[in-house]
Amino acid sequence: MIIRPAFAEAYPFLLCALSTRQGGVSDGGFGMNLSYAVGDDPSAVTENRKRFFGALGIALDELALQKQVHGDTIRCIDGPGTWDDTDGLCTSAAGVYLCVTIADCVPVFLVDPTVPAVGVVHAGWRGSVAGIAAKGVQFMAERLGANVSGMIACIGPSAGVCCYAVGHKVASHFPESCVVRRDGQHYVNLKEVNRTQLLEAGLRSESILVDPACTICGADLYHSHRRDGARSGRMMGVLGIRRGPGPG
Protein backbone atom coordinates (compact mmCIF):
# COMPACT_ATOMS: atom_id res chain seq x y z
CA MET A 1 0.00 0.00 0.00
CA ILE A 2 1.22 3.49 -0.89
CA ILE A 3 0.02 6.72 0.72
CA ARG A 4 -0.10 9.77 -1.55
CA PRO A 5 -0.55 13.06 0.33
CA ALA A 6 -3.45 14.98 -1.16
CA PHE A 7 -1.64 18.33 -1.46
CA ALA A 8 0.53 17.05 -4.32
CA GLU A 9 -2.51 16.31 -6.49
CA ALA A 10 -2.81 20.03 -7.24
CA TYR A 11 0.71 20.09 -8.69
CA PRO A 12 1.21 17.47 -11.43
CA PHE A 13 4.94 18.22 -11.58
CA LEU A 14 5.33 16.97 -7.99
CA LEU A 15 5.69 13.39 -6.83
CA CYS A 16 5.07 12.73 -3.15
CA ALA A 17 4.35 9.37 -1.53
CA LEU A 18 4.92 7.30 1.60
CA SER A 19 5.36 3.58 2.00
CA THR A 20 3.62 1.51 4.69
CA ARG A 21 4.49 -1.81 6.29
CA GLN A 22 2.23 -3.60 3.82
CA GLY A 23 3.20 -5.24 0.55
CA GLY A 24 6.81 -6.23 1.17
CA VAL A 25 8.71 -9.51 1.02
CA SER A 26 10.66 -9.32 4.30
CA ASP A 27 10.16 -12.03 6.92
CA GLY A 28 9.91 -11.78 10.68
CA GLY A 29 7.38 -8.97 10.83
CA PHE A 30 9.48 -6.58 8.75
CA GLY A 31 7.07 -6.72 5.81
CA MET A 32 7.66 -3.70 3.57
CA ASN A 33 10.86 -2.58 5.24
CA LEU A 34 12.99 -0.14 3.25
CA SER A 35 16.01 0.13 5.58
CA TYR A 36 19.24 -1.88 5.42
CA ALA A 37 20.08 -0.86 9.01
CA VAL A 38 17.56 -2.88 11.04
CA GLY A 39 18.81 -6.45 10.62
CA ASP A 40 16.62 -7.37 7.67
CA ASP A 41 17.82 -9.53 4.78
CA PRO A 42 19.50 -7.05 2.38
CA SER A 43 18.10 -8.83 -0.67
CA ALA A 44 14.58 -8.44 0.73
CA VAL A 45 15.18 -4.73 1.37
CA THR A 46 16.37 -4.27 -2.20
CA GLU A 47 13.29 -6.02 -3.52
CA ASN A 48 11.05 -3.90 -1.28
CA ARG A 49 12.69 -0.73 -2.59
CA LYS A 50 12.25 -1.90 -6.16
CA ARG A 51 8.56 -2.54 -5.52
CA PHE A 52 7.84 0.76 -3.78
CA PHE A 53 9.85 3.08 -5.99
CA GLY A 54 9.05 1.09 -9.12
CA ALA A 55 5.34 1.56 -8.48
CA LEU A 56 6.03 5.31 -8.46
CA GLY A 57 8.08 5.23 -11.65
CA ILE A 58 11.29 6.13 -9.80
CA ALA A 59 14.60 4.39 -10.51
CA LEU A 60 16.78 3.56 -7.51
CA ASP A 61 19.62 5.64 -8.97
CA GLU A 62 17.39 8.74 -8.86
CA LEU A 63 17.11 8.67 -5.06
CA ALA A 64 18.66 11.16 -2.64
CA LEU A 65 19.07 9.31 0.65
CA GLN A 66 20.18 10.51 4.05
CA LYS A 67 21.80 8.62 6.91
CA GLN A 68 19.73 10.19 9.65
CA VAL A 69 21.27 10.85 13.07
CA HIS A 70 18.50 12.79 14.87
CA GLY A 71 20.36 16.03 14.32
CA ASP A 72 19.57 19.26 12.47
CA THR A 73 21.98 19.15 9.53
CA ILE A 74 20.33 20.06 6.22
CA ARG A 75 21.96 19.85 2.82
CA CYS A 76 21.03 21.52 -0.44
CA ILE A 77 21.73 19.10 -3.29
CA ASP A 78 21.52 18.98 -7.07
CA GLY A 79 21.70 15.25 -7.73
CA PRO A 80 21.01 11.80 -6.31
CA GLY A 81 23.28 10.07 -3.79
CA THR A 82 23.60 9.30 -0.08
CA TRP A 83 24.54 11.86 2.56
CA ASP A 84 25.94 10.89 5.96
CA ASP A 85 24.92 12.64 9.20
CA THR A 86 21.98 14.36 7.54
CA ASP A 87 18.37 14.89 8.60
CA GLY A 88 17.17 17.24 5.87
CA LEU A 89 17.57 17.61 2.12
CA CYS A 90 16.35 20.21 -0.35
CA THR A 91 16.65 20.72 -4.09
CA SER A 92 15.28 22.55 -7.10
CA ALA A 93 16.57 19.90 -9.53
CA ALA A 94 14.07 17.78 -11.44
CA GLY A 95 14.42 14.01 -11.36
CA VAL A 96 16.02 13.99 -7.90
CA TYR A 97 13.78 12.26 -5.37
CA LEU A 98 14.41 13.19 -1.76
CA CYS A 99 13.83 10.43 0.79
CA VAL A 100 13.14 10.47 4.51
CA THR A 101 13.10 7.29 6.61
CA ILE A 102 10.25 6.94 9.10
CA ALA A 103 9.41 4.82 12.14
CA ASP A 104 7.78 7.31 14.59
CA CYS A 105 9.77 10.50 13.97
CA VAL A 106 8.01 13.30 12.09
CA PRO A 107 8.50 13.51 8.32
CA VAL A 108 8.04 17.06 7.03
CA PHE A 109 7.62 17.69 3.31
CA LEU A 110 8.25 21.24 2.08
CA VAL A 111 7.31 22.66 -1.31
CA ASP A 112 7.57 25.99 -3.07
CA PRO A 113 5.45 25.31 -6.16
CA THR A 114 6.65 28.44 -7.95
CA VAL A 115 10.45 28.02 -8.07
CA PRO A 116 9.81 25.03 -7.88
CA ALA A 117 11.77 23.68 -4.94
CA VAL A 118 11.25 20.80 -2.51
CA GLY A 119 12.62 19.67 0.83
CA VAL A 120 12.26 16.79 3.27
CA VAL A 121 13.03 16.85 6.98
CA HIS A 122 13.35 14.09 9.59
CA ALA A 123 12.25 15.56 12.92
CA GLY A 124 12.64 13.33 15.95
CA TRP A 125 12.39 14.89 19.37
CA ARG A 126 15.98 16.12 19.24
CA GLY A 127 15.58 17.54 15.76
CA SER A 128 12.31 19.14 16.79
CA VAL A 129 13.98 20.78 19.79
CA ALA A 130 16.65 22.09 17.41
CA GLY A 131 13.98 23.53 15.10
CA ILE A 132 14.95 21.50 12.05
CA ALA A 133 11.64 22.09 10.22
CA ALA A 134 12.08 25.86 10.44
CA LYS A 135 15.71 25.49 9.39
CA GLY A 136 14.54 23.56 6.33
CA VAL A 137 12.32 26.49 5.37
CA GLN A 138 15.20 28.91 5.91
CA PHE A 139 17.54 26.77 3.81
CA MET A 140 15.08 26.66 0.93
CA ALA A 141 14.64 30.43 1.07
CA GLU A 142 18.36 31.21 1.25
CA ARG A 143 19.76 28.56 -1.07
CA LEU A 144 16.92 28.05 -3.55
CA GLY A 145 15.07 31.36 -3.54
CA ALA A 146 11.88 29.90 -2.10
CA ASN A 147 9.10 32.33 -1.17
CA VAL A 148 8.28 31.34 2.41
CA SER A 149 4.77 32.78 2.45
CA GLY A 150 3.94 30.76 -0.65
CA MET A 151 5.34 27.47 0.62
CA ILE A 152 3.30 24.36 1.39
CA ALA A 153 4.17 21.89 4.14
CA CYS A 154 2.87 18.42 4.89
CA ILE A 155 3.54 16.73 8.23
CA GLY A 156 3.23 13.00 7.67
CA PRO A 157 2.29 9.97 9.79
CA SER A 158 4.37 9.81 12.97
CA ALA A 159 4.12 9.23 16.70
CA GLY A 160 0.95 10.91 17.95
CA VAL A 161 0.24 12.67 21.22
CA CYS A 162 -2.07 9.74 21.98
CA CYS A 163 0.92 7.41 22.41
CA TYR A 164 4.21 9.33 22.49
CA ALA A 165 5.07 9.16 26.20
CA VAL A 166 8.37 10.68 27.32
CA GLY A 167 10.12 11.37 30.58
CA HIS A 168 9.96 14.69 32.40
CA LYS A 169 13.43 15.72 31.18
CA VAL A 170 12.49 15.31 27.51
CA ALA A 171 9.09 16.92 28.02
CA SER A 172 10.74 19.96 29.60
CA HIS A 173 12.30 20.88 26.24
CA PHE A 174 8.89 21.54 24.69
CA PRO A 175 6.29 24.30 25.10
CA GLU A 176 3.60 23.51 27.66
CA SER A 177 1.01 23.82 24.89
CA CYS A 178 2.54 20.77 23.19
CA VAL A 179 2.68 18.51 26.26
CA VAL A 180 -0.26 16.55 27.63
CA ARG A 181 -0.10 15.07 31.14
CA ARG A 182 -2.15 11.92 31.53
CA ASP A 183 -2.06 9.12 34.09
CA GLY A 184 1.17 10.43 35.56
CA GLN A 185 2.98 10.51 32.21
CA HIS A 186 4.01 13.21 29.75
CA TYR A 187 2.91 12.94 26.12
CA VAL A 188 4.49 15.24 23.54
CA ASN A 189 2.62 16.41 20.44
CA LEU A 190 5.57 16.40 18.03
CA LYS A 191 3.32 17.20 15.08
CA GLU A 192 2.11 20.37 16.77
CA VAL A 193 5.66 21.29 17.75
CA ASN A 194 6.70 21.19 14.10
CA ARG A 195 3.52 22.87 12.86
CA THR A 196 4.15 25.75 15.27
CA GLN A 197 7.74 26.08 14.10
CA LEU A 198 6.60 26.23 10.48
CA LEU A 199 4.16 28.99 11.36
CA GLU A 200 6.90 30.90 13.14
CA ALA A 201 9.11 30.45 10.06
CA GLY A 202 6.52 32.30 7.99
CA LEU A 203 4.26 29.67 6.43
CA ARG A 204 0.54 30.31 6.40
CA SER A 205 -1.64 28.15 8.63
CA GLU A 206 -3.83 27.00 5.74
CA SER A 207 -0.70 25.85 3.87
CA ILE A 208 0.39 23.42 6.58
CA LEU A 209 -1.27 20.02 6.28
CA VAL A 210 -1.05 17.54 9.16
CA ASP A 211 -1.73 13.82 8.77
CA PRO A 212 -3.41 12.74 12.04
CA ALA A 213 -2.24 9.12 11.81
CA CYS A 214 -0.16 7.77 14.70
CA THR A 215 2.50 5.23 13.77
CA ILE A 216 2.56 3.72 17.28
CA CYS A 217 -1.10 2.71 17.48
CA GLY A 218 -1.52 2.21 13.72
CA ALA A 219 -0.02 -1.28 13.84
CA ASP A 220 -1.76 -2.57 10.70
CA LEU A 221 -0.33 0.12 8.48
CA TYR A 222 2.81 1.59 10.02
CA HIS A 223 6.18 0.52 11.32
CA SER A 224 6.94 1.84 14.80
CA HIS A 225 10.21 1.59 16.69
CA ARG A 226 8.44 2.64 19.88
CA ARG A 227 5.99 -0.24 19.53
CA ASP A 228 8.16 -3.00 18.05
CA GLY A 229 11.70 -2.15 19.11
CA ALA A 230 14.45 -3.99 17.28
CA ARG A 231 11.90 -5.83 15.14
CA SER A 232 10.60 -2.62 13.64
CA GLY A 233 11.12 -1.97 9.95
CA ARG A 234 11.30 1.46 8.40
CA MET A 235 9.03 3.26 5.96
CA MET A 236 10.12 5.96 3.56
CA GLY A 237 8.62 9.16 2.34
CA VAL A 238 9.71 10.54 -1.02
CA LEU A 239 9.30 13.97 -2.60
CA GLY A 240 10.59 15.23 -5.91
CA ILE A 241 10.05 17.33 -9.01
CA ARG A 242 9.22 15.18 -12.01
CA ARG A 243 11.26 15.52 -15.17
CA GLY A 244 9.51 17.34 -17.99
CA PRO A 245 7.37 20.48 -18.08
CA GLY A 246 7.50 22.55 -14.91
CA PRO A 247 4.73 24.40 -13.09
CA GLY A 248 4.11 27.03 -15.67
What is the CATH classification number for the domain harbouring 215? 3.60.140.10
Residue 144 lies in a domain: yes
**Strands annotated E in 94-149:** 97-102, 106-112, 117-123
Flag whether pLDDT at 245 surpasses 80: no
Residue 61 lies in a domain: yes
Q: What is the mean pLDDT of the chain?
A: 95
Flag whether pLDDT at 206 surpasses 70: yes
Phi/psi at 11 (5° precision): -130, 90
Q: 129, 78, 124, 134: which is closest to 100 by C-alpha?
A: 124
* Residue 154 confidence (pLDDT): 97
Chain segment 50-93, per-residue pLDDT in tens: 999 999 999 999 999 999 999 999 999 999 999 999 999 999 99
Query: Which secondary-structure segment (H or E) carries 53?
Result: helix 42-55
Q: Per-residue pLDDT averaged across 119-140, rounded?
A: 97
* Residue 16 confidence (pLDDT): 97
Residues whose CB is less than 8 angstroms from the CB of residue 206 and which lie 6 or more positions away in sequence, other chains included: none
Burial class of residue 209 in the structure, from the number of CB atoms within 10 Å of its CB (0-12 exposed, 13-18 middle, 19+ buried): middle
Q: Per-residue pLDDT averaged across 192-206, rounded?
A: 97
Residue 246 lies in a domain: no
Distance CA 143, CA 110 (A): 14
Residue 248 lies in a domain: no
* Residue 230 confidence (pLDDT): 83
pTM: 0.96
Chain segment 26-53, per-residue pLDDT in tens: 998 899 999 999 999 999 999 999 999 9
Flag whether pLDDT at 247 surpasses 70: no
Full residue range of the structural domain in which residue 173 is found: 2-241
Residue 15 lies in a domain: yes
Geometric angle at alpha carbon 192, from 22 and 223, rounded to 5°: 15
Residue 174 lies in a domain: yes
Cis peptide before 245 (omega within 30 of 0): no
Distance CA 198, CA 192 (A): 10
Q: Specify the number of domains making up the chain.
A: 1
Share of the chain above pLDDT 70, in %: 98
Alpha-carbon torsion 214, 217, 220, 224, what sign? positive
* Residue 166 confidence (pLDDT): 94
